[in-house]
């Protein structure tokens, strides 16, 4: 929580519906959402250590900015663990500052998005083969498990995913009001 605002993280590999759901949930709950800031800062998967640090700092700052404007709940399209995963994937290294930035934000609930929906190319996405998608899903899952972060698995078609998210958000909001 930041300033009594519940923080929700939509987490998982590319092309699993995180952005779409973040927008949709923010609209439904009449609140803010935080996009994946990297998409505003880079135009290809060719980036360097300084770029990934800039992305990490900008993502963290955006969360704090949006939390000030949020209506009780803030939906985040990504987190710093994701930034670390892609830093390791593309650069082979994770700058230590990304771990420090991760510690600045504590989410109230993680939703881990499965890769059981079709992959859609968008110019930046490049991990579309089914085996590689499953591999990335396991990497994302293992990072949460390693940190002992609890999460709710989001899978199925778009309607099922939405139902899973709504149910848990309702529970979180009910518990936050007690």
Q: What one-character DSSP code corresponds to residue 5?
A: B
* Gap between the Cα atoms of 64 and 136, Å rounded: 28
Nearest alpha-carbon partner for 85 in 101, 98, 76, 104? 98
Q: Where are the domains of the chain?
A: 6-176
pLDDT at position 128 over 60: no
Nearest alpha-carbon partner for 79 in 46, 112, 47? 112
Cβ contact 56:80 at 8 Å: yes
3-state secondary structure of 94: coil
**Cβ-proximal residues to 85 (8 Å cutoff; 6+ apart), any chain:** 136, 139, 140, 143
The separation between CA 135 and the C-alpha centre of its own chain, rounded to angstroms, equals 18
CATH homologous superfamily of 6-176 equals P-loop containing nucleotide triphosphate hydrolases (3.40.50.300)
pLDDT digits (tens, 9 = 90+) for 2-13: 778 999 999 999
pLDDT digits (tens, 9 = 90+) for 83-117: 999 999 889 999 999 999 999 999 999 999 999 98
* Gap between the Cα atoms of 121 and 124, Å rounded: 7
* Gap between the Cα atoms of 105 and 149, Å rounded: 13
Cβ contact 61:21 at 8 Å: no
Nearest alpha-carbon partner for 109 in 4, 11, 41, 3? 11
pLDDT digits (tens, 9 = 90+) for 15-66: 888 999 999 999 999 999 999 887 777 766 677 899 999 999 999 999 999 9
pTM (global) more than 0.95: no
* Gap between the Cα atoms of 69 and 64, Å rounded: 9
């Amino acid at each position: 929580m930041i300033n009594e605002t519940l923080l929700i993280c939509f987490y998982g590999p590319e092309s699993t519906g995180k952005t779409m759901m973040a927008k949709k949930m923010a609209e439904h709950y009449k609140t803010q959402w935080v996009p994946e800031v990297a998409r505003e800062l880079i135009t290809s998967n060719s980036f360097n250590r300084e770029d990934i640090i800039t992305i990490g700092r900008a993502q963290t700052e955006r969360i704090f900015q949006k939390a000030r404007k949020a209506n009780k709940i803030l939906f985040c399209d990504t987190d710093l663990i994701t930034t670390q995963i892609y830093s390791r994937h593309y650069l082979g290294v994770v700058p230590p500052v990304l771990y420090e930035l991760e510690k600045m934000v504590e989410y109230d609930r993680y939703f881990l998005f499965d890769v059981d929906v079709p992959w859609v190319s968008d110019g930046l996405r490049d991990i579309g083969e089914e085996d590689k998608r499953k591999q990335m899903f396991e990497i994302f899952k293992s990072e949460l498990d390693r940190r002992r972060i609890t999460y709710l698995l989001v899978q199925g078609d778009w309607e099922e995913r939405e139902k899973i998210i709504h149910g848990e958000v309702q529970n979180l909001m009910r518990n936050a009001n007690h």
